[in-house]
Chains A and B, each alone.
Chain A
């Protein structure tokens, strides 16, 4: 059974204080690892897809990396508008492409 564990559950940062969120996964045959951002009461917003170990992707203050067992979402010099829940999901195997999600990390950036 595919499993995704995210840590920490919640993270409070001061504006400009860089940090990383962790996503550990166990899956048979990783097809892709996805990061989404979710604001309260809204649907998840797609950020990145990573396909193989060693891959990195960047978008503004966010950088996602992937190893064979985990992914990191690095946030550099965060701003209050980066406050949200960040969800990690894996897509595995063949056939239909279900996403298995972690519970998310709730990030709060204070001014």
Chain B
């Protein structure tokens, strides 16, 4: 089975712009979660989608949004980028068989200048 894939792997944007990141989960996985990793804050949960519906949400401003398509692929969008949004964005998918067991992609490294 192919693992979780994320595109693009690296991205450089300017303050004020918006960005869309993409995630393809493992085939058959219906849950997709997004996390932000920064050196100061560690891994922080952004949101989870299950069957095209947002099931859980973290404590991030409304500039961060996401969606899931009928094939379980997911996208996250960040509008009006700030310097502090520079981070590694990780996507994870799960089958729900083992609670908490998630399969992570390699991440998208976003740099905001």
Is the A/B pair a real complex?
A: no
Chain B positions within 8 Å of A, measured between CB atoms, are none
Chain A positions within 8 Å of B, measured between CB atoms, are none
